[in-house]
Chains A and B, each alone.
Chain A
Amino acid sequence: MKIKLPVLTGEHFMNGDFACAEGAIAAGCRFFAGYPITPATEISEALSRRMPQVGGIFIQMEDELASMNAILGASCAGVKSMTATSGPGFSLMMENFGLGIMMEIPCVLVNIQRGGPSTGLPTMVGQQDMMQARWGSHGDYEVIALTPSSPQEMFDYTIKAFNLSEKYRLPVLIMSDEIVGHMTEKVVIPKKGDIHIVNRKKPKRGPDKYLMYRPEKDLVPCMANAGEGYKVIATGLTHDEKGYPDMSAEAEEKLITRLCDKIRKNKDDIIEFEVSELDDAEIIVAAYGSPARSALRAIRLARKEGIKAGLIRIITVWPFPEEKILELATKARAIIVPEINKGQIVREVERCSKSRCEIISLPKLARIHTPYEILNVIKEVNNT
């Protein structure tokens, strides 16, 4: 039997879903729980082969509620864990995504988005869960959501998602889409030693002095795993630093403010975007996921015609790069936002731009925008 190594160093030709699976293994993920759903099934299939090869566990759960809980449990036992799904399963995961936020459990949840609502368009692309990613579980909280645009990025940002989840102790979302998941391209996997890996902070005090939820300077508490003698106490109820339930307004203020602040105050460390031709740009396209690929081509075509167009490709949609968008809005004539939905992230762009420039939504359903569709809008703005 041929057993492949944990890190498949070299050049590959693989689709985004497989690249995500390899990224997880390379990041040290050794537990995957999922339930089959198009267009994320290939991640499950890949990991059912790969997990036993690296001494990890693959389990196909009875549904996505169970999948989400299983990865939370596994992470509490100290093993990096992941699940992958699409719209209908994402809805089922939302309840316990919230449990992960409240108990501060590192793990990764991948959504290969398809068309919705409900069963929708299982085999066609969507970006309709972007606001659900932000607000889909009840209560107040902050999230981290990454939007890769290529199979290479599915590999790279799956590793980054694990690193962020371990650093900030929360479930991190990969909000990919069917096009990126199913697209096959070159993926370069670096040498094991060249991959940057972050692991959760371990308690610095012995079990007698350790407090489950006492934050350090970065607002993130150290994490004891089950079986290490720390007598962990974790609950989805509002709790104090010991982890004990505390049913008071003060406890809610303190805990929820910290859970939000640990992301808000560290946003410069978390937020990532990529800019192209922005220096003198008057017309800017803001895009993420697969439409960012068409957008890049569109601004290049526009440049050829002498139009000062540029692109900001948003990689961490959550937390949203608020300050960068305001800065761009202050300089630009217009920001165009192509999305495979009826206009979701454009609302954030509007909010952050504070009416400093025109914001143009470019909604489209079930298909990716062609570069020319975006180019035409750039030209229209240029001609007015």
Chain B
Amino acid sequence: MSRNDIHPMDKLIRADRMPHIWCSGCGLGTNFSCFLSALDQSGLDTDKCVIVSGIGCTGRIPGYTNIDSYHTTHGRAIPFATGLKLANPELTVTVFSGDGDLFAIGGNHFIHAARRNVDINIICVNNFNYGMTGGQYGPTTPLDAITTTSPYGNYEHPFNLVHVAAGSGAVFVARWTSLHVRRLTKSIKEALLKKGFTFIEIISPCPTSYGRRNKLGDGLEEMKYYQKNSVISHGIDPKDTDLDLNGKIVVGKFIDIDKPTFLDKQPDLLSMAEKNKK
């Protein structure tokens, strides 16, 4: 391997697992490297950082990350991550998974972990469909979009993920597209260092399925299209950030608040008992 072939984030990648399974032009590679840069810049001890996913194309990210990594079952990454974090509060636990995984089959876990304010970070790659199973519609597919199970156009209203996250109690909520590399990286770094339940949505191209069927061009074109269509609006009320098929994509950091976490609220009976003895 020549010097030029060494990826700057090599120490955080399981290089012996390359090549990865993702299609060329997929946004996942970019999203992955933003995460790695953020992790690197965070200054966190990576031996104490854990990454967890469910199932899907996005769900393959942990397996390529050279830190403790758990690739669980479809939809169940959040409760698994909850167990890890509560059992060892020293860990920084990040869930990296897809829109279908986190908001269809796993939706209930998402809202409850946010409500409890478990100190974990959720990064959701929203590619508007179930990429891994061949591009069926999911909970974020825009109305009228074509997918393999909505051949006449999707007739279900989608979730606005950042609105769901904010409404469920997340203390940090942001949305970027895959091409907002610098801003996305900064947001992930902030989330990693933030105490409480954080949520970042990445609008990301799936040229093989969603992009192709909705005539969004190849991966780069789809990625550029999302970025061009975006407007940065920090602090805007998440209810005003709905996405539709060809409309504007509002991005930015929408929520950044503080409140006690699940662990902060644990009764410290042991030290109370200690005090009573004195």
Judge whether A233 and B63 touch: CB under 8 Å: yes
8 Å CB contact of B88 from A69, A103, A226, A244: A226
Is A81 among interface residues, defined by CB-CB distance under 8 A?
yes
Is A271 among interface residues, defined by CB-CB distance under 8 A?
no
Contact stretch, chosen from B124-132, B157-165, B268-276 = B268-276
Q: Please, how many angstroms separate the alpha-carbon atoms of A70 and B76 in the complex?
A: 9
Q: Please, how many angstroms separate the alpha-carbon atoms of A57 and B66 in the complex?
A: 29
Q: Chain B residues with Cβ under 8 A from A96's Cβ?
A: 72-73, 76
Give, as a whole number of angstroms, the nearest-CB distance from B62 to chain A. 8
Which residues, 91 to 132 on A, are CB-close (under 8 Å) to B? 95-96, 99, 103
Give, as a whole number of angstroms, the nearest-CB distance from B225 to chain A. 33
Q: Chain B residues with Cβ under 8 A from A249's Cβ?
A: none
Which residues, 41 to 73 on A, are CB-close (under 8 Å) to B? 52-53, 55, 57, 59, 61-63, 65-73
Judge whether B109 and A66 touch: CB under 8 Å: yes
Is B180 among interface residues, defined by CB-CB distance under 8 A?
no
8 Å CB contact of A236 from B71, B90, B91, B269: B71
Is B68 among interface residues, defined by CB-CB distance under 8 A?
yes
Judge whether A227 and B47 touch: CB under 8 Å: yes
A-facing mask of B111-123, CB < 8 A → 1, else 0?
A: 0100000000000
Is A237 among interface residues, defined by CB-CB distance under 8 A?
yes
Is A254 among interface residues, defined by CB-CB distance under 8 A?
no
Give, as a whole number of angstroms, the nearest-CB distance from A33 to chain B. 7
A-facing mask of B31-52, CB < 8 A → 1, else 0?
A: 0000000000000000110101
| A71 (CB) vs chain B CBs: closest residue | B83
| B270 (CB) vs chain A CBs: closest residue | A55
Which residues, 107 to 153 on B, are CB-close (under 8 Å) to A? 108-109, 112
Is B87 among interface residues, defined by CB-CB distance under 8 A?
yes
Is A230 among interface residues, defined by CB-CB distance under 8 A?
yes
B-facing mask of A209-249, CB < 8 A → 1, else 0?
A: 00000000000000001111111111111000000110000
Q: Please, how many angstroms separate the alpha-carbon atoms of A310 and B109 in the complex?
A: 50
Interface range on chain B: under 10, 10 to 19, 20 to 34, or 35 or more? 35 or more
B-facing mask of A324-352, CB < 8 A → 1, else 0?
A: 00000000000000000000000000000
Q: Chain B residues with Cβ under 8 A from A230's Cβ?
A: 68
Q: Chain A residues with Cβ under 8 A from B14's Cβ?
A: 233
Q: Please, how many angstroms separate the alpha-carbon atoms of A61 and B63 in the complex?
A: 27
Is B172 among interface residues, defined by CB-CB distance under 8 A?
no
Is A302 among interface residues, defined by CB-CB distance under 8 A?
no
Judge whether A227 and B80 touch: CB under 8 Å: no
Which residues, 77 to 98 on A, are CB-close (under 8 Å) to B? 77-79, 81, 95-96
8 Å CB contact of A65 from B52, B62, B79, B267: B79
Is B3 among interface residues, defined by CB-CB distance under 8 A?
no
Q: Chain A residues with Cβ under 8 A from B47's Cβ?
A: 227-229
Is B197 among interface residues, defined by CB-CB distance under 8 A?
no
Is B261 among interface residues, defined by CB-CB distance under 8 A?
no
Judge whether A81 and B87 touch: CB under 8 Å: yes
| A62 (CB) vs chain B CBs: closest residue | B112
Q: Chain A residues with Cβ under 8 A from B72's Cβ?
A: 69, 72, 96, 99, 236
Q: Please, how many angstroms separate the alpha-carbon atoms of A76 and B62 in the complex?
A: 15
Judge whether B71 and A69 touch: CB under 8 Å: no
Give, as a whole number of angstroms, the nearest-CB distance from A141 to chain B. 15
> Knowing A232-B68, A235-B71 touch, does A226 contact B270 (C-beta < 8 A)?
no
Is A31 among interface residues, defined by CB-CB distance under 8 A?
yes
Q: Chain B residues with Cβ under 8 A from A57's Cβ?
A: 86-87, 266
| B49 (CB) vs chain A CBs: closest residue | A227
8 Å CB contact of B76 from A55, A65, A235: A65
A-facing mask of B198-217, CB < 8 A → 1, else 0?
A: 00000000000000000000
Judge whether A53 and B87 touch: CB under 8 Å: no
Q: Please, how many angstroms separate the alpha-carbon atoms of A200 and B63 in the complex?
A: 24
Judge whether A74 and B68 touch: CB under 8 Å: no
Is B84 among interface residues, defined by CB-CB distance under 8 A?
yes
Judge whether B270 and A73 touch: CB under 8 Å: no
Judge whether B88 and A227 touch: CB under 8 Å: yes
8 Å CB contact of A31 from B79, B83, B272: B83
> Knowing A57-B266, A62-B108 touch, does A73 contact B73 (C-beta < 8 A)?
no
Q: Please, how many angstroms separate the alpha-carbon atoms of A74 and B86 in the complex?
A: 7
Judge whether B269 and A53 touch: CB under 8 Å: yes
Which residues, 1 to 55 on A, are CB-close (under 8 Å) to B? 1, 3, 30-31, 33, 52-53, 55
Judge whether A66 and B112 touch: CB under 8 Å: yes
Judge whether B91 and A52 touch: CB under 8 Å: no
Q: Chain A residues with Cβ under 8 A from B86's Cβ?
A: 31, 57, 59, 70, 74
Judge whether A77 and B83 touch: CB under 8 Å: yes
> Knowing A227-B48, A234-B69 touch, does A77 contact B63 (C-beta < 8 A)?
no
> Knowing A53-B269, A66-B79, A227-B50 touch, does A74 contact B71 (C-beta < 8 A)?
no
Q: Chain B residues with Cβ under 8 A from A231's Cβ?
A: 66-69
> Knowing A69-B79, A96-B76 touch, does A79 contact B88 (C-beta < 8 A)?
yes
Q: Please, how many angstroms separate the alpha-carbon atoms of A126 and B83 in the complex?
A: 31
Judge whether B83 and A73 touch: CB under 8 Å: yes
Judge whether B71 and A70 touch: CB under 8 Å: no
Q: Please, how many angstroms separate the alpha-carbon atoms of A173 and B261 in the complex?
A: 32
Judge whether A31 and B87 touch: CB under 8 Å: yes
| B55 (CB) vs chain A CBs: closest residue | A236
Judge whether B71 and A237 touch: CB under 8 Å: yes
Q: Please, how many angstroms separate the alpha-carbon atoms of A303 and B17 in the complex?
A: 67
Judge whether A62 and B109 touch: CB under 8 Å: yes
Please list the 5 inter-chain residue pairs (A to B) with the smallest Cβ-Cβ separation, ordered nearest first: A73-B83, A74-B87, A77-B87, A74-B83, A69-B79
List 14 extra interface pairs beyond A231-B66, A233-B63, CB under 8 A. Answer: A53-B270, A57-B87, A65-B79, A69-B82, A73-B83, A76-B84, A77-B84, A77-B91, A79-B87, A99-B73, A227-B48, A233-B14, A233-B69, A245-B71
> Can you pick out 9 interface pairs between chain A and chain B where the beta carbons lie within 8 Å of each other?
A1-B269, A3-B272, A73-B70, A78-B87, A79-B87, A95-B73, A231-B67, A233-B62, A237-B71
